[in-house]
Amino acid sequence: MTNEFQVHQPSPILIVVSGPSGVGKDTVVQRMKERGLPFHFVVTATTREKRPNETNGKDYWFVSKDEFARMIEENELIEYAVVYGDYKGIPKSEVRDALASGKDVVMRIDVQGAETVRKLVPEALLIFITCDSEEELERRLRERKTESSDSLSLRIATARKELQRIGAFDYVIVNRDFHLDDTVNKVRSIIEAEHLRVQHRKVNL
Amino acid sequence: MTNEFQVHQPSPILIVVSGPSGVGKDTVVQRMKERGLPFHFVVTATTREKRPNETNGKDYWFVSKDEFARMIEENELIEYAVVYGDYKGIPKSEVRDALASGKDVVMRIDVQGAETVRKLVPEALLIFITCDSEEELERRLRERKTESSDSLSLRIATARKELQRIGAFDYVIVNRDFHLDDTVNKVRSIIEAEHLRVQHRKVNL
DSSP A5: G
Q: Report helix, strand or coil for A7.
A: coil
* pLDDT of residue B83 exceeding 80: no
Using the Cβ of B6 and the Cβ atoms of chain A, whether some distance falls under 8 Å is answered with no
Residue A130 covered by a domain: yes
Q: Report helix, strand or coil for A109.
A: coil
Cα–Cα distance for residue pair B161/B138, rounded to 1 Å: 14
Residue B68 CA to chain centroid, in angstroms? 19
Q: Residue B2: its pLDDT value, please?
A: 39
Chain B residue closest in CA terms to A23: B5
Residue B83 distance to chain A (closest CA, Å): 23
> Model confidence over B99-154: pLDDT tens digits?
888 899 999 998 988 998 999 899 999 999 998 888 888 888 888 755 555 677 88
Which amino acid is residue B129, in one-letter code? I
Residue B76 covered by a domain: no
Q: Residue A59: its pLDDT value, please?
A: 83
DSSP A90: E
Residue B184 covered by a domain: yes
Q: Residue A177: its pLDDT value, please?
A: 84
Residue A124 covered by a domain: yes
Contact A1 B132 (CB under 8 A): yes
Contact B189 A194 (CB under 8 A): no
- For every residue of B43-68, DSSP letters joined together read PEEE-SPPPTT--BTTTEEE--HHHH
Ranges of chain A with pLDDT below 70: 1-9, 145-150
* pLDDT of residue B95 exceeding 80: yes
Contact B174 A8 (CB under 8 A): yes
Number of domains chain A is built from: 1
B98 and B40 in contact (C-beta within 8 Å)? yes
Q: Residue B170: its pLDDT value, please?
A: 96
Cα–Cα distance for residue pair B10/B16, rounded to 1 Å: 19
Least reliable range by pLDDT among A46-60, B26-40, B152-166, B181-195: B152-166
A105 and A12 in contact (C-beta within 8 Å)? yes
Contact B189 A192 (CB under 8 A): yes
Residue-number span of the structural domain to which A181 is assigned: 9-195
- Put simply, whether the predicted model's pTM sits higher than 0.90 gets the answer no
Residue B52 covered by a domain: no
* pLDDT of residue B7 exceeding 70: no
Residue B49 covered by a domain: no
> Model confidence over A44-63: pLDDT tens digits?
899 999 999 999 988 889 99
**What CA–CA distances, in Å, run from B23 to A12, A144, B192?**
27, 53, 23
Quote the radius of gyration of chain A (alpha carbons, Å). Answer: 17
Q: Residue A11: its pLDDT value, please?
A: 85
Which CATH number characterizes residue B127's domain? 3.40.50.300
Using the Cβ of A18 and the Cβ atoms of chain B, whether some distance falls under 8 Å is answered with no
Q: In 3D, which of A23, A75, A68 has the Cα closest to residue A44?
A: A68
Residue A190 covered by a domain: yes
Quote the radius of gyration of chain B (alpha carbons, Å). Answer: 17
Q: Residue A185: its pLDDT value, please?
A: 96
B19 and B162 in contact (C-beta within 8 Å)? yes
Query: Active-site residues of B: which are they?
Result: 51, 144, 155
Residue A203 covered by a domain: no
